[in-house]
Structure 1
Amino acid sequence: MQASFSAPKVGRWYLFITESWKILLLWLSGVFLLMSFRLFYLFHFSENISLNITAKQIFDALATGFKFDSSAAGVCLAIPFLLNCFLQPLRLDNWVRRVRNMIGLIYLSVFVLLGICGITYISEYGTQYNYFMLEGLYDDQQAILSTAIQQYKPWGSLLSIGILLSCVVVWTRFVDKRSYRLLINICPKSRIKQAIISILVFVMFVCAARGSFDSRPASRKWSAVTTDPFVNNLVINPFRSFFYAIQDYGELNQLTTLSTNPYLADKHEIDDALLNNETRSMGPLIQKPSRIFYIVMESFDSWPLQDKYRDLALTENFHRLKAKGIYVEQALPAASSTMNSLSSLVTGIPFSGINMSRLTSKAQTYSLIHLMEDQGYTSQFFYGGLLSWQTVGEFMSRHGVDHVYSAANAGGKGSAGVWGVDDGQLFDLVSQSVPENSFNLIMTTSYHGPFNLDLSASDYPWKNGDYPVQFQRMGDEVLSANTLGHLWYSDQMMGQFVDNMQRKYPDALFIITGDHYSRRYFHAKPNLYELTHVPILILGQGVSPKLSNRTIASHMDITATIMDLIARSNTSFSSFGYSLVGSEAPENVFGYKTIRDTERVWKQGDGEQFYSYQVNPKQGDKGVEQPAPTLEYQTYMAAAWQLLMGSPTPH
């Protein structure tokens, strides 16, 4: 406060009003900043918005977003406001001013940083901040940083941050130094009117901090006010989404410390489900392979395999190979991130929200590694990145893998550099290290940002971005030719490797799948099927498409299928899945927050509600909504949680 407004001249109440006005200006600044970011997101990512959305829905989204912005700004300014209420009567206005200046500068700066960084985050994940960002604490931070720099070239973002932060400094100083004589001159001198105004100021601030005059404050569960999931995601501002991400991550990690099962309370149903998982192999259906290659391809999902994209010729090797073996195009991954899916494939335990990279399961009857070694195979793991990523090397060793290889064993870095070696280098390493009677789990990396492989000397057909005419009509919304080139490259390297190994080891068995859906689609409006599925392919000597007629599957079906194909007859093991070559086919298959039957796929939103998409409409069925089999899903997840938490050892 300026010296001319000292207490003896203007009084405590006038200082309270002046300070409240400054806090109001800072509140308006925060609301304006957050709303500006929301409008920018809507414009910049407009290709992600459904064409069916109405102007009224956009208005509803902005109006609801204003409530979240008001609440975020109000909460951040709560401390200076309360100090203004309680310290002004004590003639401590200097403390009020200092705290307001400091918090105003910090909170507006945080809004700027989260808003600008949110542009890159949405570009990568198609959503605002979520718990994935904290999974990076166990990731290769250097690789993440290099990916962000090389793929998104954030120099414009850094410049914008610098400019906006300078504006924040200038604005907070302006608010603090400006004269407010007019405000003081029009304030009433009546004690009764002053009391009424003071009460109104307090009430208005409480409403601003709640984000609403209603009985219901701004809350995430009320944010989905439109029919467009992407727009709904932008209703919540970057500041609130950041803290929701921390909250969600904490809740997921709390699953590992809960004493009661978060999915189901009835222990008898869990026990029955685990008992039903116990089974025996029906094979062997093929001659025992000398080598098994289990290839988990980074971000290799089902959308490029659809007929409507065949003219792009992105996955010709996979198309060629799928005709020779058991192929299920409509399969659900165990999770939507690499480590969680890989953990489930290794342990045989579905991902239920618990990051298994830091746990060791003792449920060996489910463990793929244990089952393969019991059949006389040496287990090996090959990863195109570094073993420090998600502590994957330690994870594999704890779960009994005999030999673990990484990018370090293949020369360190490839042409892409960031995440490790190129897929071609990885497969060369594998081909040099496969003794007889070996089970080889391979995790590729090339179809991953920053997508900086040098494809100039390759046969990739769309190097110049000249897609076929039917795809050019989609305009600027289609995925870049460079990104698709990395998908093409990963398919090429996989196909060459399979061909080489089949020539060298004719009796080898191959299992090929994607770790999760890629979060990158040819056009900006993928349907729910394209957002959720990965393929599964099993081929080898004696493996015929006639061995299976399954149309839907999940990652959890793979271990049971391998056991029926190669295991000694009547071998006891446990599985959450169903063998693709067995006579029994499930009505539903499950992934994390995902359910699939032969006609529909259901996906769980931010709350408990599942929404559905009709994949294979029946004759005459016009897409009538069907309730998701949530009770069966809850039992499935409850059994997975109980099995893991009843037997794990933390690390």
Structure 2
Amino acid sequence: MANYWRQVLNWDNFYELLWQAGKLFLFLLFLVCGYRILFIGLMYTYLGLATEGVDIVTALFYGLRLSMKSMGLLTAIGFLVGCIGYLYRPYKGTQFLQITGCIWIVLLTLLFFARIPYYEQFHSGFNQLIFNTFKDDTYALFISLIEEFQLPVRLLGVGIAGFFICRIFLWWQNWGHVWRLPRMSKVNYTICLRVVFICLLYQAILWIRFGGSLSYVGDIDWENAGVTKDQLLNEAILDDVQALYRSYEMDSRLENSTGLAFEPEQIQHYAEALSGKKLNSNNLDDYLKHHAVGLREKPPQHVFLIVSESYANWPLLSKYENLHITDGVKEIINRSDSDYLGSMLPNGMSTISGVMGILTGFADANLYLTHLPEAYREAYPTAIAVNMKKLGYETCFWYAGPNSWERIHDFALAQGFDKFYGRGDYGETEGNVWGCDDEYLYNAVLDGSKNDKMSFNLVLNVSNHSPFTVDLEKAGFDKELVRNALPEEMKNDEDLLKKLGHFWYADKQLAHFVSKAREIYPDSIFIIVGDHADRLNIDKTPNRYERYAIPLIVSGVGIDKNSLPERAAGSHINITATLMELIAPKGFEYYALGESLTRGNVMGINYGFWITPDDIGITEIGPQPYRFNVNAQGEPDMKKINENVEMIRSISWWRSKYGNQLVEKKG
């Protein structure tokens, strides 16, 4: 025992562990910086045209500073593990540290291999969407990873790369001799030297902790690290550890509604400002009440609201007309009984966020509604199904996928739908793990609507979603026509052609459904909207409008080219009010937070962006708005825009979580 404590308390033994920890830190820092450079090199096509060499150098410098913090944390964990081994047997300390180092190397390599397809899909490093994995259909996600992103091949690559890098790491750890503090002639001098060393070590730890600074004043973190003008470089600055930390932080804010706690008086003030009503009422719903202008004598027999997976607006722009992947919907738009609005935003970056905005009428406000107990106690008065039922419609939700996805079956019924149909209700169908191909879904909707009842049908398709498995050749896709319309450097990109082919397929089946439904049910109205964009672009660095905007098309009996004013913009939360004004009789009472687009609503908002008929920008503090309307005049009123964003999101948060009573809430 005495010999054991002599070894444990031996400065030289402990100093060797410190020395090995320092070498681990340097190796991990070098590795993650190398991965950063490699990431930028592999993804260079995503760099903006205005990006210069100085921007890349700036990104690498800030990335180095940020990674000092990340690798410092991993090293600290490795050192603590080494200390456990050191206490067990002093010579075991370095072995435990080396094993931990190898684990970190493999994990960092795995994250690097995953980052590339993740960025290609979401134009971002890891973000809070990865936490949807635990709330989504994990089996479907796993199959998508295998079929679309070649998971086994990537894991093999991780194993091979990790093996060789670990071999280099172990060589590095065992190379050379331990540099030891010199022993002084007197014990007191030796002690003083060690005290100086410990003080310097403390300063070095602070310098690493604050990313190249010795205090919080110069600290750098994931929230302030995006200093370049290029999106790819700003994401590259965040190593994968920092990106995962960002994901965790953002998801925690969503779960805990961080930053959206308001007093009831403030919510009442916001409700009065948005509605223009001075009611002095403590019932929030009083401010959400509207009365239809009455554009027709009686509602149409059938209403079909089609929420189309990943149907972005950019393929409808004239600059992409040679692709011919949206010819079907363009035919609908060009009809005299149709109108189209291109200045629309989805409610969020995922399908479930968009669907929640449509179903409830609430903006994304840091609440995951399908997992919110309050959403199942009673339907919100702003819910689209609730308002349609008041008009006399039987409300049906038609989904191409399984009933279990995101609890959509239970949530839709809780929010007023009379019936819900999922893939299991359509018989034998072709498709992928996310759901059946669109043609089977649309055929089921056509067959299910053959009765004398007035019906409202919300249709959610999935074919334009990875893994892309539709037999495009059988469906009639002219791949060579699309290939010839692509830029020269993209003509041989078979993966891009497959994605564009699935967009074409979704467009074709949607147009075919609308055409057939018109024949069978002439007294019908159709609303077509994308669930989100930001998945596919021809341009590697699309402008903000082409990246995020979705289309809104209204068509059918009673619709004309003046149904949607030109000076209008909106998001998913405006659909309920717009539909009510298009079909409800004069004086009909309905509830909605978003204004009707028929009244010339000039602004739309979502989780992080806003849009007007002229500009699209980032909420709160962000880059300058992007002007997509070349005929626009004047500048956007940023003060008013930010006020509207805060009011809409605040009311959405309060009403969905606390109900309609504007009284003090505890807990």
Query: Normalised by the size of structure 2, how large is the TM-score?
Result: 0.88
Distance of aligned partners of 1:86 and 1:580 in 2 relative to their CA distance in 1, 3 Å threshold: closer
Aligned: 1:123 with 2:120:
yes
Return the alpha-carbon distance in structure 2 between the equivalents of residues 367 and 179 of structure 1. 67
Aligned: 1:278 with 2:289:
yes
Distance of aligned partners of 1:217 and 1:580 in 2 relative to their CA distance in 1, 3 Å threshold: closer
In the alignment, which of 234, 244, 252 is matched to residue 254 of structure 2?
A: 252
Report the alpha carbon displacement of residue 205 of structure 1 after superposing the two structures with TM.
Answer: 3.1
Distance of aligned partners of 1:148 and 1:412 in 2 relative to their CA distance in 1, 3 Å threshold: farther
Q: Is the 8 A contact 2:574 2:595 kept in 1?
A: yes
Q: Is the 8 A contact 2:525 2:557 kept in 1?
A: yes
Q: Specify the alignment match of 1:229 in structure 2.
A: 231
Report the alpha carbon displacement of residue 28 of structure 1 after superposing the two structures with TM.
Answer: 1.3
Aligned: 1:48 with 2:46:
yes
Q: Specify the alignment match of 1:501 in structure 2.
A: 517
Q: Specify the alignment match of 2:277 in structure 1.
A: none
Report the alpha carbon displacement of residue 171 of structure 1 after superposing the two structures with TM.
Answer: 4.7
Matched AA of 1:580: L
Aligned: 1:425 with 2:437:
no
Return the alpha-carbon distance in structure 1 between the equivalents of residues 355 and 548 of structure 2. 16
Q: Specify the alignment match of 2:101 in structure 1.
A: 104
Q: Is the 8 A contact 2:32 2:108 kept in 1?
A: yes
Report the alpha carbon displacement of residue 292 of structure 1 after superposing the two structures with TM.
Answer: 1.1
SS at match of 2:545: coil
Aligned: 1:321 with 2:332:
yes
Matched AA of 2:360: T
Q: Specify the alignment match of 2:552 in structure 1.
A: 536
Q: Specify the alignment match of 1:641 in structure 2.
A: 653
**Unpaired segments ≥5 residues, structure 1:** none
Q: Specify the alignment match of 1:208 in structure 2.
A: 208
Matched AA of 1:42: I
SS at match of 1:432: helix
Per-residue CA deviations over 1:355-388 (Å, capped at 9, x if unaligned) read: 1112316464311101111111111111111111
Q: Specify the alignment match of 2:23 in structure 1.
A: 25
Q: Specify the alignment match of 1:241 in structure 2.
A: 243
Q: Is the 8 A contact 1:561 1:581 kept in 2?
A: yes
Per-residue CA deviations over 1:20-70 (Å, capped at 9, x if unaligned) read: 221111111211221122112111111111121111111110011111211
Return the alpha-carbon distance in structure 2 between the equivalents of residues 560 and 11 of structure 1. 75
Q: Is the 8 A contact 1:413 1:420 kept in 2?
A: no
Return the alpha-carbon distance in structure 1 between the equivalents of residues 506 and 555 of structure 2. 18
Return the alpha-carbon distance in structure 1 between the equivalents of residues 4 and 496 of structure 2. 62
Matched AA of 1:243: Y
SS at match of 1:556: helix
Q: Is the 8 A contact 2:615 2:626 kept in 1?
A: yes
Q: Specify the alignment match of 1:39 in structure 2.
A: 37
Per-residue CA deviations over 1:112-146 (Å, capped at 9, x if unaligned) read: 22222222221221211100000121111111111
Report the alpha carbon displacement of residue 287 of structure 1 after superposing the two structures with TM.
Answer: 4.2
Q: Specify the alignment match of 1:61 in structure 2.
A: 59
Q: Specify the alignment match of 2:353 in structure 1.
A: 340
Q: Specify the alignment match of 1:351 in structure 2.
A: 364
SS at match of 2:51: coil
Per-residue CA deviations over 1:140-181 (Å, capped at 9, x if unaligned) read: 1111111121112234421221123323543554466x3754
Aligned: 1:165 with 2:162:
yes
Q: Specify the alignment match of 1:294 in structure 2.
A: 305
Return the alpha-carbon distance in structure 2 between the equivalents of residues 267 and 627 of structure 1. 19
Per-residue CA deviations over 1:240-275 (Å, capped at 9, x if unaligned) read: 11122012101111019x89339x982332342455
Q: Specify the alignment match of 2:14 in structure 1.
A: 16
Report the alpha carbon displacement of residue 421 of structure 1 after superposing the two structures with TM.
Answer: 0.5
Q: Is the 8 A contact 1:278 1:573 kept in 2?
A: yes
Distance of aligned partners of 1:427 and 1:92 in 2 relative to their CA distance in 1, 3 Å threshold: same
Question: Quick check: 9-18 or 194-203, which moved more?
Answer: 9-18
**Unpaired segments ≥5 residues, structure 2:** 275-283, 661-667
SS at match of 2:58: helix
SS at match of 1:629: helix
Return the alpha-carbon distance in structure 1 between the equivalents of residues 342 and 319 of structure 2. 14
Q: Is the 8 A contact 2:615 2:636 kept in 1?
A: no
Q: Specify the alignment match of 1:577 in structure 2.
A: 594
SS at match of 1:266: helix
Per-residue CA deviations over 1:316-368 (Å, capped at 9, x if unaligned) read: 11111012312111111122211111111111122212111123164643111
Q: Specify the alignment match of 2:278 in structure 1.
A: none
Q: Specify the alignment match of 1:461 in structure 2.
A: 478
Return the alpha-carbon distance in structure 2 between the equivalents of residues 157 and 237 of structure 1. 19
Distance of aligned partners of 1:185 and 1:640 in 2 relative to their CA distance in 1, 3 Å threshold: closer
Return the alpha-carbon distance in structure 1 between the equivalents of residues 587 and 10 of structure 2. 87
Report the alpha carbon displacement of residue 13 of structure 1 after superposing the two structures with TM.
Answer: 2.7
Q: Is the 8 A contact 2:8 2:90 kept in 1?
A: no
Identity %: 22
SS at match of 1:293: strand
Report matched runs for 1:583-594 at 5 Å.
585-594=600-609
Aligned: 1:632 with 2:644:
yes
Distance of aligned partners of 1:85 and 1:500 in 2 relative to their CA distance in 1, 3 Å threshold: closer
Return the alpha-carbon distance in structure 1 between the equivalents of residues 642 and 318 of structure 2. 32
Return the alpha-carbon distance in structure 1 between the equivalents of residues 34 and 561 of structure 2. 55
Q: Is the 8 A contact 1:7 1:15 kept in 2?
A: no
In the alignment, which of 387, 392, 411 is matched to residue 403 of structure 2?
A: 387
Return the alpha-carbon distance in structure 2 between the equivalents of residues 130 and 83 of structure 1. 29
SS at match of 2:432: coil
Return the alpha-carbon distance in structure 2 between the equivalents of residues 553 and 635 of structure 1. 15
Q: Specify the alignment match of 1:308 in structure 2.
A: 319
Q: Is the 8 A contact 2:298 2:585 kept in 1?
A: no
Report the alpha carbon displacement of residue 91 of structure 1 after superposing the two structures with TM.
Answer: 10
In the alignment, which of 116, 130, 148 is matched to residue 133 of structure 1?
A: 130
SS at match of 2:401: coil
Aligned residues: 633
Q: Specify the alignment match of 1:609 in structure 2.
A: 622
Distance of aligned partners of 1:460 and 1:86 in 2 relative to their CA distance in 1, 3 Å threshold: closer
Report the alpha carbon displacement of residue 9 of structure 1 after superposing the two structures with TM.
Answer: 9.8
Return the alpha-carbon distance in structure 1 between the equivalents of residues 193 and 510 of structure 2. 79
Q: Is the 8 A contact 1:37 1:115 kept in 2?
A: yes
Matched AA of 2:355: L
Q: Is the 8 A contact 1:550 1:580 kept in 2?
A: no
Return the alpha-carbon distance in structure 1 between the equivalents of residues 145 and 633 of structure 2. 48
Q: Is the 8 A contact 2:343 2:612 kept in 1?
A: no
Distance of aligned partners of 1:461 and 1:43 in 2 relative to their CA distance in 1, 3 Å threshold: same
Matched AA of 1:267: I
Return the alpha-carbon distance in structure 2 between the equivalents of residues 47 and 251 of structure 1. 33
Report the alpha carbon displacement of residue 78 of structure 1 after superposing the two structures with TM.
Answer: 1.8
Q: CA RMSD in A?
A: 3.0
In the alignment, which of 495, 519, 526 is matched to residue 542 of structure 2?
A: 526
Return the alpha-carbon distance in structure 1 between the equivalents of residues 630 and 535 of structure 2. 25
Q: Is the 8 A contact 1:188 1:194 kept in 2?
A: no
Report the alpha carbon displacement of residue 80 of structure 1 after superposing the two structures with TM.
Answer: 5.0
Return the alpha-carbon distance in structure 1 between the equivalents of residues 394 and 144 of structure 2. 35
Return the alpha-carbon distance in structure 1 between the equivalents of residues 160 and 291 of structure 2. 66
SS at match of 2:471: coil
Return the alpha-carbon distance in structure 1 between the equivalents of residues 144 and 90 of structure 2. 48
Per-residue CA deviations over 1:197-252 (Å, capped at 9, x if unaligned) read: 33323322332233213432231232112111221011010111112201210111
Matched AA of 2:302: R
Question: Quick check: 210-219 or 66-75, which moved more?
Answer: 210-219
Distance of aligned partners of 1:628 and 1:72 in 2 relative to their CA distance in 1, 3 Å threshold: farther
Q: Specify the alignment match of 1:440 in structure 2.
A: 457
In the alignment, which of 521, 526, 534 is matched to residue 510 of structure 1?
A: 526
Aligned: 1:487 with 2:485:
no
Return the alpha-carbon distance in structure 2 between the equivalents of residues 157 and 538 of structure 1. 44
Return the alpha-carbon distance in structure 2 between the equivalents of residues 84 and 358 of structure 1. 41
